[in-house]
């Protein structure tokens, strides 16, 4: 079922995909850290996802009143003795540098060492990952701390601008968390109804590479299924029900059939992918406060489930999410 042309997009789809990836598959971010910060961590190194303690800020609402809201950093991870802060942004944001400074101080406070009259505050390494780009998107994020005695300390990091990375580079470097957001570079073509053959070609490339890496043991079944589901979440966000949606979403199911055993494997992956998508829709729906009927409808629209299939998944995963 297609959504109406004017149905409002879910503004948090990008954030939800990034948030779900970090909670379920933090191992996949090791290659991202290696690439951004020129590290060489083993992919089986211990990874600790640290609590992203929020902080309260006062902001102005559309009617001019003031309200208090909580901000939470996207991804805080500790690998060996190093702490890393990764922020995922749809577009450039003029407040990003000050937000990074605020996040960094919250992080540093957790690891600070102090004694009578002195404190040592270790700042984390950070990077901002931009899913989309405009003419104003900065190549670096720079924070300059100035002190009353004239001292200045520059705290700077290169940004990651995803549409500057080729699909071949992403696969070669095993930058799996970037794959779901890759199609954002084609947003104008996808939404305007232009030819999307190039998008299909790139999606097929990622699908085939991920299937191959799954066979070789570099991607687990769960990682593969979820990555395919994340890709389709972003596709449906961009297409918003237009004529390109069905064609693009179908790509991740694949039609590669070389042997009968591979056929069964692919069908199992497709079924697992649907189950993974259903689980994510249920979890995010419950987090957003949706009632059961709204979640069931979303599963029918997004995955093509019958009401019976949607109810079965709701019974299976809804209870788990509430526990």
Helix (H, G, I), strand (E, B) or coil at 159: coil
Give the confidence band of 255 by pLDDT, cuts at 50, 70, 90.
very low
- Other beta carbons within 10 angstroms of residue 104's beta carbon come to 21
Least confident of 34-38, 60-64, 157-161, 296-300: 60-64
Q: What is the mean pLDDT of the chain?
A: 81
Give the confidence band of 3 by pLDDT, cuts at 50, 70, 90.
very low
For residue 95, what pLDDT is reported?
A: 81
Residue predicted with more confidence, 316 or 162: 162
Residue whose C-alpha is closest to residue 13's, from 317, 281, 291, 296: 281
Average pLDDT value for residue range 43-62: 62
For residue 55, what pLDDT is reported?
A: 42
Rounded Cα distance, 244 and 191, in Å:
8
pTM value is: 0.70
Give the confidence band of 37 by pLDDT, cuts at 50, 70, 90.
very high
Give the confidence band of 167 by pLDDT, cuts at 50, 70, 90.
very high
* DSSP classification of residue 211: H
| pLDDT, tens only, 265-304 | 556 666 777 777 888 888 888 887 888 998 898 888 877 8
Instruction: Spell out the domain ranges in the chain.
Output: 46-162, 166-322
Q: Is the pLDDT of residue 263 over 80?
A: no
Burial of 294 (0-12, 13-18, 19+ CB in 10 A): exposed
């Amino acid at each position: 079922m297609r959504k109406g042309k004017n149905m409002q997009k879910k503004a948090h789809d990008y954030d939800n995909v990034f948030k779900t990836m970090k909670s379920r598959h933090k191992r996949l971010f090791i290659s991202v850290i290696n690439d951004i910060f020129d590290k060489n961590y083993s992919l089986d190194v211990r990874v600790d996802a640290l609590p992203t303690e929020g902080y309260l800020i006062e902001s102005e609402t559309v009617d001019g009143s003031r309200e208090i809201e909580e901000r939470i950093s996207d991804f805080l991870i500790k690998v060996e003795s190093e702490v890393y802060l990764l922020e995922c942004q749809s577009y450039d944001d003029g407040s990003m540098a000050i937000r990074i400074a605020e996040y960094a101080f919250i992080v540093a406070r957790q690891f600070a060492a102090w004694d009578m009259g002195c404190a040592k505050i270790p700042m984390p390494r950070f990077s901002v990952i931009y899913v989309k780009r405009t003419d104003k998107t900065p190549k670096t994020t720079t924070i300059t701390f100035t002190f009353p005695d004239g001292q200045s300390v520059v705290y700077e990091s290169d940004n990651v601008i995803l549409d500057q990375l080729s699909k071949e580079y992403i696969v070669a470097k095993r930058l799996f968390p970037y794959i779901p957001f890759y199609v954002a570079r084609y947003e104008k073509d996808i939404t305007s109804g232009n030819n999307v053959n190039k998008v299909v070609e790139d999606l097929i490339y990622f699908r085939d590479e991920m299937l191959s890496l799954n066979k070789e043991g570099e991607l687990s079944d769960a990682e593969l299924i979820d990555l395919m589901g994340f890709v389709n979440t972003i596709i449906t966000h961009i297409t918003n029900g237009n004529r390109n949606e069905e064609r693009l979403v179908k790509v991740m199911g694949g039609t590669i059939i070389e042997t009968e055993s591979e056929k069964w494997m692919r069908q199992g992956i497709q079924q697992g992918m649907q189950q993974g998508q259903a689980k994510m829709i249920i979890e995010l729906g419950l987090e957003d406060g949706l009632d059961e009927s709204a979640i069931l409808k979303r599963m029918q629209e997004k995955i093509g489930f019958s009401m019976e299939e949607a109810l079965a998944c709701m019974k299976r995963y809804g209870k788990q999410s509430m526990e």
